[in-house]
């Protein structure tokens, strides 16, 4: 798949595409390899969450271009990335021979302040949170990109590397039929990242940070009620909170219990309740991992995406999960976004500001 030229992307991406293709198997080539495996020599086995991984890889693309290295992706956990995405403009998949050459190399957590890169031919790197928050720190020459994850920059980087696999596209189509009755029914979407430590989390609190609470249950239900009231289409909910998901499936949201369906659009979910938290663990079921990527694709295909915001110091700012920013990058800069804003603890929609 050719790189999407409809976006205002930097010219260096085309130069890097030519370089990657020409030097991919050169005996003089040097490589930088994003790595996430259950066992990684040289470091512990913690990877980032799914959305953070994509942002991290986007930074590595900048770094690969700036240092003239071939970017490869060895995302094997919890399942191989190739199950869900195929290469777009560059072939980032490791060959069997390359995997054999790299598997004994240490995997580094190379921070933004630790320069330069090691001089070894294969540099293997796993996630570092500094990277995902500093996309602009390495700017190849003539780059016009910036660190705004909603700007065309992240879309350019993401779409330069990835296109959905036939398997994932088929799964998304099937879920649209199951959720909405027909494959092409229009809908809006929202992703509510409540946090691994939030009440209703599917994870043992001894295995995740207890302080990771982005939204409490009351806030999440208010946001959903507001969106369902405002939306002109059914609303698809993607969430990391198992209890919130089962509440929606059971029709037990406050507005549903009060019988206000006449004034609210239905809120619907992908009916698999398994959750994935791949930051600290690797052993998730195939169905649970599939579900996360299907949710991502369903957000991408929504007519509009609702995003919730906060108002620190009286000014509005977008409060997005990395999962949401990845969906926006996949969808492209033309994605319809609608903000759910907050005053105190009361959500209000843009037309009521």
Q: Are residues 76 and 106 in the same domain?
A: yes
Greater model confidence, 117 or 85: 85
pLDDT the model gives residue 202: 67
- Domain around 215: 166-339
Considering Cα of 251, then 255, then 258, then 262, what sign does the dihedral take? Answer: negative
Q: Are residues 26 and 119 in the same domain?
A: yes
- Measured between alpha carbons, how far is 122 from 114 in angstroms, rounded to an integer? 17
Q: Are residues 149 and 200 in the same domain?
A: no
Q: Which residues pair with 310 in a beta bridge?
A: 317
CATH code (residue 332): 3.40.50
Note whether 198 and 216 are within 8 A (CB). yes
Residue 84 lies in a domain: yes
Note whether 73 and 93 are within 8 A (CB). yes
Which element (helix H / strand E) includes 218?
helix 217-230
163, 183, 201 - which closes a domain = 163
Confidence of residue 341 (pLDDT cuts 50, 70, 90): low
Q: Are residues 52 and 155 in the same domain?
A: yes
Number of domains in the chain: 2
* Mean residue pLDDT across the chain: 80
Note whether 175 and 270 are within 8 A (CB). yes
What phi-psi label fits residue 299: left (phi over 0), alpha (psi between -120 and 50 degrees) or beta? Answer: alpha
Q: Are residues 174 and 321 in the same domain?
A: yes
Stretch 49-78: mean pLDDT: 90
Q: Are residues 74 and 156 in the same domain?
A: yes
> For residue 72, is pLDDT > 90?
yes
Q: Are residues 103 and 137 in the same domain?
A: yes
Alpha-carbon distances of 2 from 160, 162, 241, 300, rounded to whole Å: 8, 10, 37, 20
163, 186, 214 - which closes a domain = 163
For residue 319, give the nearest of 310, 328, 330 by alpha carbon. Answer: 310
Q: Are residues 157 and 17 in the same domain?
A: yes
CB-side neighbour CA atoms (13 Å) of 109 = 13
pLDDT the model gives residue 31: 97
Q: For residue 234, give the 3-state DSSP assignment.
A: coil
Q: Are residues 64 and 186 in the same domain?
A: no
> For residue 259, is pLDDT > 80?
no
Q: Which is it for strands 346-348 and 336-343: parallel, antiparallel or unpaired?
A: antiparallel
pLDDT the model gives residue 352: 42
Confidence of residue 342 (pLDDT cuts 50, 70, 90): low
Greater model confidence, 1 or 242: 242
143, 163, 183 - which closes a domain = 163
Q: Are residues 59 and 75 in the same domain?
A: yes
Q: For residue 87, give the 3-state DSSP assignment.
A: strand
pLDDT the model gives residue 151: 43
For residue 325, give the nearest of 172, 164, 155 by alpha carbon. Answer: 155
pLDDT the model gives residue 310: 54
pTM: 0.87
Residue 344 lies in a domain: no
Q: Are residues 249 and 136 in the same domain?
A: no
Q: Are residues 181 and 124 in the same domain?
A: no
């Amino acid at each position: 798949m050719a790189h999407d030229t409809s976006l205002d992307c930097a010219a260096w991406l085309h130069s890097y595409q030519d370089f990657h293709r020409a030097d991919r198997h050169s005996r003089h080539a040097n490589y930088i390899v994003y790595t996430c495996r259950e066992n990684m020599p040289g470091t512990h086995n913690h990877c980032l969450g799914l959305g953070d991984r994509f942002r991290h890889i986007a930074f590595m693309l900048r770094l690969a271009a700036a240092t003239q290295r071939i970017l490869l992706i060895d995302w094997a956990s919890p399942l191989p990335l190739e199950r869900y995405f195929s290469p777009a403009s560059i072939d980032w998949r490791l060959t069997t021979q390359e995997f054999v050459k790299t598997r004994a190399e240490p995997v580094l957590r190379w921070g933004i302040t630790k320069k330069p890169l090691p001089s070894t031919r294969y540099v293997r790197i796993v996630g570092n949170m500094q990277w995902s928050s500093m996309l602009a720190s390495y700017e190849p020459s003539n780059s016009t990109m910036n660190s705004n994850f909603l700007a065309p920059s992240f879309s350019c980087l993401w779409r330069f590397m990835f296109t959905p696999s036939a398997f994932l596209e088929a799964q998304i189509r099937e879920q649209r039929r199951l959720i909405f009755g027909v494959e092409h029914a229009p809908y809006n979407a929202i992703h509510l990242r409540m946090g691994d430590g939030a009440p209703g989390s599917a994870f043992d609190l001894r295995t995740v940070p207890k302080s990771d609470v982005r939204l409490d249950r009351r806030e999440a239900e208010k946001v959903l009620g507001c969106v369902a009231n405002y939306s002109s289409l059914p609303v698809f909910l993607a969430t990391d909170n198992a209890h919130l998901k089962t509440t929606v499936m059971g029709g037990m949201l406050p507005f549903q219990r009060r019988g206000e369906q006449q004034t609210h659009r239905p809120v619907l979910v992908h009916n698999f309740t398994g959750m994935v938290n791949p930051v600290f663990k690797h052993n998730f079921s195939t169905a649970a991992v599939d579900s996360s990527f299907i949710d991502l694709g369903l957000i991408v295909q929504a007519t509009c995406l609702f995003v919730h915001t906060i108002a620190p110091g009286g000014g509005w700012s977008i409060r997005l999960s990395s999962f949401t920013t990845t969906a926006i990058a996949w969808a492209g800069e033309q994605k319809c976004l609608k903000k759910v804003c907050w005053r105190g603890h009361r959500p209000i929609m843009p037309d009521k500001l």
